């Protein structure tokens, strides 16, 4: 039967190209305020335009990210009122939303790159890579000097007996430029600023760069809101989207939330983990203070996510590092 109202709504959604944002936490501990701020803004950005949120658990490193932490993370997000529409333990159309269960999917895309002749084995140990890489990226990652690209067949065969290699992507000689939805233009000349990066580690675990691209594409994510520490990963990811023929999302990188003395917040900082926050504050208090830090409220007063979605404004989100006042939490 024809249902004009439903049809109209479907069409409007299509025209609007509904935003699909995501939470992509790596649950190697309890969430801290920095993770929370990212989750809140990803949620607000999607919900303020009537969009949806996918929850994907980035537990590629399964030993560091036990299932118990992922379960706690879901409880914490529920407690905060940051609900998601698809994924997590409830699953959804993309199958499992735990990266630790998706190796077969990554394998297929990895093989595509391999068939295109863009992948080569690297037998270097971590310290060899460090020692042989003169320039390092700003984030400290060494830029690989392509030592193993030039190995002879015999050398390769000999090394193969000693260790199983990591697999690297041969980056093309080009600049990848894009405009970040929040921070503006950013570009990298791949050979000098990035280098050939790892797609699969020696122990067979696929790298974050490949998994995140495949997952965001297959899960229909069209808006990625995350910390500015990942801005430098974006050119690599845009390259993979193109090589794999996948549609890239819009990226919005957020300033980092730092302690008042400028140190990076980490999961080890018990003072700002949700475990402690939950004992001292209500969820609206935590949300309101974060929204204030993100420029959305005049005062750090309690607020509900759904109320904030009505007034959310990207223009008000700071563009430089946010310092956490000592007396805020």
Q: Are 231 and 253 in contact (CB under 8 A)?
A: yes
Residue corresponding to tokens 């957020």: 254
Span near ligand GLU by CB under 6 A; candidates 20-28, 147-155, 174-182, 183-191: 20-28
Beta bridge partners of 186: 178
The interface region with ligand GLU, picked from 21-29, 76-84, 173-181, 292-300 by CB under 6 A, is 21-29
Contact status: 25 vs ligand GLU (CB under 6 A): yes
Compute how many residues bind Zn ion; rule: CB under 5 A: 4
Choice from 73, 148, 210, 277 touching Zn ion (CB under 5 A): 148
| 120: its two tokens | 């080569």
Q: Distance from first CA to last CA of the chain, Å, rounded?
A: 55
DSSP secondary structure string for all residues of 11-43 = HHHHHHT--EEEE----SS--BHHHHHHHHHHH
3-state SS assignment for residue 63 = coil
- Residue pair 36/274 in contact (Cβ under 8 Å)? The answer is yes
Binds 212: which of ligand GLU, Zn ion, none (CB < 5-8 Å by kind): ligand GLU
Supply the minimum distance, in Å, between the C-beta of residue 57 and ligand GLU. 9
Position 143 contacts Zn ion (CB under 5 A): no
Contact between 100 and ligand GLU per CB under 6 A = no
Q: Tell me if 216 sits within 8 A of 240, measured CB to CB.
A: no
Which of 102, 200, 226, 236 touches ligand GLU by CB under 6 A?
Answer: 226
Residue bearing tokens 């995140």: 212
Nearer to Zn ion, 133 or 232 (CB): 133
Stretch of residues binding ligand GLU (CB under 6 A), selected from 1-9, 19-27, 195-203, 251-259 = 19-27
Binding site for Zn ion (CB under 5 A): 122, 124, 147-148
Binding site for ligand GLU (CB under 6 A): 24-26, 58, 212, 226, 230
């Amino acid at each position: 039967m024809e249902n004009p109202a439903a049809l109209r709504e479907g069409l409007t959604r299509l025209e609007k190209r509904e935003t699909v944002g995501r939470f992509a936490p790596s649950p190697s501990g309890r969430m801290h305020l920095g993770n929370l701020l990212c989750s809140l803004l990803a949620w607000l950005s999607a919900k303020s335009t009537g969009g949806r949120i996918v929850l994907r658990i980035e537990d590629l490193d399964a030993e560091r990210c036990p299932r118990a932490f992922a379960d706690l993370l879901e409880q914490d997000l529920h407690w905060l009122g940051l609900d998601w529409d698809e994924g997590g333990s409830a699953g959804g159309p993309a199958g499992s939303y735990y990266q630790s269960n998706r190796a077969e999917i990554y394998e297929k895309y990895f093989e595509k790159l391999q068939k295109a002749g863009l992948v080569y084995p690297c037998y270097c140990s971590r310290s060899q890579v460090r020692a042989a890489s003169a320039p390092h990226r700003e984030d400290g990652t060494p830029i690989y000097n392509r030592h193993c690209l030039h190995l002879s067949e015999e050398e390769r065969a000999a090394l193969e007996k000693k260790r199983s290699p990591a697999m690297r992507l041969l980056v093309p000689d080009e600049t990848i430029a894009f405009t970040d939805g929040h921070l503006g233009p950013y570009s990298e000349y791949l050979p000098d600023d990035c280098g050939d990066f790892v797609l699969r580690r020696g122990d067979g675990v696929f790298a974050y760069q490949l998994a995140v691209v495949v997952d965001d594409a297959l899960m229909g994510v069209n808006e990625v809101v995350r910390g500015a520490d990942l801005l430098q990963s974006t050119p690599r990811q845009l390259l993979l989207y193109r090589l794999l023929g996948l549609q890239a999302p819009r990226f919005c990188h957020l300033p980092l939330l730092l302690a008042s003395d400028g140190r990076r917040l980490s999961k080890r900082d018990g003072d700002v983990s949700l475990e402690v926050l939950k004992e001292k504050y209500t969820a609206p208090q935590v949300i309101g203070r974060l929204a204030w830090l993100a420029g959305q409220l005049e005062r750090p007063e309690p607020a509900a996510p759904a109320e904030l979605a009505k007034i959310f404004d990207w223009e008000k989100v700071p563009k430089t590092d946010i310092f956490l006042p000592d007396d805020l939490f």
